[in-house]
Amino acid sequence: MIYAITIYGEAGVFEALPKDRQDEVMSGHGALQTALKERGEFVSMKLMPPTSAVMVEPATSEGKPPLITDGPFADTKENFLGFYAADFNDLDEALTYAKLISSPIARLEVRPVAWAGGAISSE
């Protein structure tokens, strides 16, 4: 089963950490990436800060084009920062790998993937 390990946290907090703590976080990511690479295909992305995003909102009425806005608006709560996805034997194994990148500044969600296409495929 493919699991996604998604990372939530507050944008900017990592950058405010002292260098040695940043290195600590990054070494966790390094370890996870090395471990995943050994198992086969995986995908991983770190997103730019939410402020760099542009929103495509649903059209307000039928026949109209979708609305492009420059949100998201000032939201100080947790942001979606990035994710990993790979094929794991079971939830326990996915959790074991997720723990490698656990840190006080991130909340992780381990969620089974219903369908995946592209570099890793569920089919």
Partner 1 sequence: MSDWLEATFTQQRPRAIAALTRVFRDIDTAEDAFADACLKALTVWKQDGAPRDPLAWLLATARNAGIDSLRKSQRRAAILSRHNEEFQPMLAETPDPDEMRDDVLRLLFICCHPELDRRDQIALALRIVAGLSVEEIASGFLVKLKAMEQRITRAKKKIASHTVAFETPNPEERGARLGEVSLMIYLMFNEGWSTSAGPSQINLTLCEEAIRLARLLVALFPAMGEQAALLALLLLQHARRDARIDRQGKLVALDDQDRTLWNRTDIAEATAFLQKAQRINHRGAYVIQAAIAAAHARAPSPEDTDWALIESHYAALHALQPTPVVRLNQIAAQARLHGPQFALEAMESLSEDLSNYRWFHAMRGALLQDVGDHRAAIAAFEAVMTLAPTGPECVAIKDKISSSKKELGHL
Tell me which residues touch partner 1 (CB under 8 A).
Answer: 10, 12-18, 21, 48-52, 54, 69-78, 103-105
Q: Closer CB to partner 1, residue 104 or residue 112? A: 104
Which phi and psi (to 5°) does residue 93 adopt? -65, -45
Kindly state the helix (H) or strand (E) to which residue 5 belongs, with its residue range.
strand 2-9
Closest approach of Cβ 65 to partner 1, in Å? 15
Closest approach of Cβ 26 to partner 1, in Å? 13
Q: Closer CB to partner 1, residue 15 or residue 38? A: 15
DSSP, residue by residue, 42-61 = EEEEEPPPGGG--EEEPPSS
Q: Closer CB to partner 1, residue 2 or residue 98? A: 98
Q: Which of 48, 106, 56, 50 is nearest to 73 (CA)?
A: 50
Residue with tokens 């995986």: 42
Closest approach of Cβ 1 to partner 1, in Å? 29
Q: Closer CB to partner 1, residue 49 or residue 112? A: 49
Which residues contact residue 78 at a Cβ distance below 8 angstroms, ignoring those fewer than 6 apart?
8, 9, 10, 107
Closest approach of Cβ 47 to partner 1, in Å? 11
